[in-house]
Amino acid sequence: MAQFSKILRKTDTKKRLSVPIRFLRSLPPFKLGSHAVTFEATDEKGQAWTFQCSIRKGGQYPKPVLTRGWVAFVKSKNLQVGDKVRFIKRRNRATAAISYKVRAERQSRSLVLHLAVHGSSPFP
């Protein structure tokens, strides 16, 4: 099982979600010459969400981001700066099928205030 979680910042809630480079290995493979891959993740209510992960066309680092589908997910869950999102990749042992889960966690509004004032999380 591979996963990553992130406390959301302003750009994450308005435009795109920056994804750790290490999570790229967990996504479906990019087609030759492609700079984007689409995958589906199911939320806690069983609703399927389609996301597109894109990487830079040039540069030293791929800098992956979730674009297509991401803002709709944020709006649907009413996510704000300071809230947390978690992506989980699972493999069914019996069938070897891959599935993805996405979880949104609302944080206390005091953490949101801390982020607004200090620009970073008080947690490592």
| pLDDT for 50 | 97
pLDDT for residue 112:
56
Superfamily of domain 2-118: DNA-binding pseudobarrel domain (2.40.330.10)
The pLDDT assigned to 15 comes to: 95
pTM of the predicted model over 0.75: yes
Q: In this predicted structure, what is the pLDDT of residue 33?
A: 78
Q: Which residues of the chain have pLDDT under 70?
A: 1, 108-124
Alpha helices in the chain (DSSP H): 10-14, 70-77, 109-118
> What is the model's pLDDT at position 54?
92
Structure tokens at 116: 């607004």
Measured CA to CA, the distance from residue 7 to residue 89 in angstroms comes to 19
Whether 87 and 41 have beta carbons less than 8 Å apart is answered as yes
Concatenating the DSSP letter of every residue in 18-44 gives E--GGGGGGSPPPPTT-SEEEEEEE-T
Domain ranges of the chain: 2-118
Share of the chain above pLDDT 90, in %: 56
Burial of 61 (0-12, 13-18, 19+ CB in 10 A): exposed
